[in-house]
Amino acid sequence: KQEVTQIPAALSVPEGENLVLNCSFTDSAIYNLQWFRQDPGKGLTSLLLIQSSQREQTSGRLNASLDKSSGRSTLYIAASQPGDSATYLCAVRAGGLTNTGNQFYFGTGTSLTVIP
Amino acid sequence: DAGVIQSPRHEVTEMGQEVTLRCKPISGHNSLFWYRQTMMRGLELLIYFNNNVPIDDSGMPEDRFSAKMPNASFSTLKIQPSEPRDSAVYFCASSSGAPTGELFFGEGSRLTVL
- Residue B98 — very low, low, confident or very high, per pLDDT cuts 50/70/90? low
User: Average pLDDT, whole number, for chain B?
Assistant: 93
Which one of B91, B98, B105 has the shortest CB-CB distance to A102? B98
Residue B45's nearest CA partner among B31, B55, B56, B59 is B59
Which DSSP helix (H) or strand (E) runs through B75? strand B74-79
Among candidate residues A36, A114, A35, A25, the one with its CA nearest the CA of residue A78: A114
Residue B1 has pLDDT above 80, yes or no: no
pLDDT the model gives residue B104:
95
Question: Residues of A with CB below 8 A from B33's CB?
Answer: 104
B65 touches chain A (CB under 8 A): no
- The DSSP code sequence of A35-99 is EEEE-TTS-EEEEEEEETT-SEEEETTEEEEEETTTTEEEEEE-S--GGG-EEEEEEEEE-SSST
Q: What's the gap in Å between the CA of B75 and the closest CA on chain A?
A: 18
CB-CB under 8 Å, A36 with B107:
no
* Residue in A closest to B53 by C-alpha: A99
Across the interface, whether the CB atoms of B33 and A104 are under 8 A apart is answered yes
The pLDDT tens digits of the residues spanning B3-34 come to 999 999 999 999 999 999 999 999 999 899 99
Q: Tell which B residues from 88 to 107 touch A, by Cβ distance under 8 Å.
A: 91, 93, 98-100, 102-107
Q: What is the pLDDT of residues B32-81, one digit of tens each?
A: 999 999 988 889 999 999 899 998 888 898 899 999 999 999 999 999 99
Residues of chain A with pLDDT under 50: 99-100
Question: What pLDDT, on a 0 to 100 scale, did the predictor assign at position B97?
Answer: 67
A42 touches chain B (CB under 8 A): yes
**Exposed/middle/buried for A32, CB within 10 Å: 0-12, 13-18, 19+?**
buried
